[in-house]
Amino acid sequence: MKRLILASSLLLAATGALAAASSTVHINGVTITLTDLDLNDGIAASATMMHGSQPYLNIGSASFDPAYSNDAQAGIGTHGASQLHADVGTTFSHSSATIAGQPSIVGYSSIALEGAALSSAVGYGEYGATAAPYTAMNVQVAANTRVTVTFDASIDVATTVGLDAAGNAERAMGRILMAFDGLDADGAWVIDEQFQELVAGYRVDNAGNVLGDTLHWDGQLSVSFANWTGSDTVATLYSEGVIGGSSVVSAVPEPATYGMLLGGLALLGVAARRKKAAC
């Protein structure tokens, strides 16, 4: 930890405030609601998981400083209730992902994704992460039943510089996708899809200054499928959380600052290697 603090201090002293891009996606609550569309048919509303899926995550981190380095990890749970977590990092970026698997028609109870990238005069970073069921969930929906799935979720994205004088841009993205599809009473394919995405880049103020951007969203996303027929039918449910971004290469420093820059990067590299060796 002391090495990381010293390394960061050297970089900041050499370059001023580092440019940065960051993203977070959280799905904190999952609610499944069943509605009986015909109270007189004697059939209880139900939705049963036919083909379950293990939780899945895939994350990556890369730095160009000036040589290319990367760290990545992918994982699939051994069963539907598996809990997965992964962290990866390089000199100028990191990503982390957590998914709590659940044997339900959704496939999980929560997702948390976080990522960030820095840049200075000698390098920059990129990050990305995805968490979802490994395959779509097949759901048996009883006759005259509507199934509604609701997420309580939030997305935060931010950049600090946005765009530099050379036209290099920062980007931070967070996205949640939900889709519920199947055949309606007439045999036609129908889909209910919800898509929430935020992308932070740069903005220009009233004085013409180029600035970074910060965006936030929180609320609920819902999708539903209704079986209006008198017999069971099969629908498919899929959802995912995704983040990604990169920072911008900053202006070249004065020659006198290169020593501090290289010293800071060297210490960060040592700290990253020690962390990886300890895992």
CA R_g for the chain:
23
Question: pLDDT in tens for each of the 279 residues of the chain?
Answer: 343 333 444 444 444 446 899 999 999 999 999 999 999 999 999 999 987 789 999 999 999 987 899 999 999 998 889 999 999 999 999 999 999 999 999 999 999 999 999 998 888 999 999 999 999 999 999 999 999 999 999 999 999 988 887 888 899 999 999 999 999 999 999 999 999 999 999 999 999 888 899 999 999 999 999 999 999 999 999 999 999 999 986 544 433 333 444 444 444 444 444 444 444
Burial annotation 213-227 (CB, 10 A radius, 16+ → b, else e): bebeeeeebebebbb
Nearest to 133 by CA among 194, 51, 197, 59: 51
Burial annotation 43-56 (CB, 10 A radius, 16+ → b, else e): bebebebeebbbbb
Cis before 66? omega within 30: yes
Nearest to 98 by CA among 108, 88, 84: 84
What tokens does 78 get? 């051994």
Q: Note the helical H segments in the chain.
A: 2-15, 258-278
First and final C-alpha spacing in the chain: 15
Three-state DSSP at 279 gives coil
Sequence ranges of the domains in the chain? 19-249
- The C-alpha atoms of residue 124 and residue 247 are separated, in whole angstroms, by 6
Burial annotation 161-179 (CB, 10 A radius, 16+ → b, else e): bbbbeeebbbbbbbbbbbb
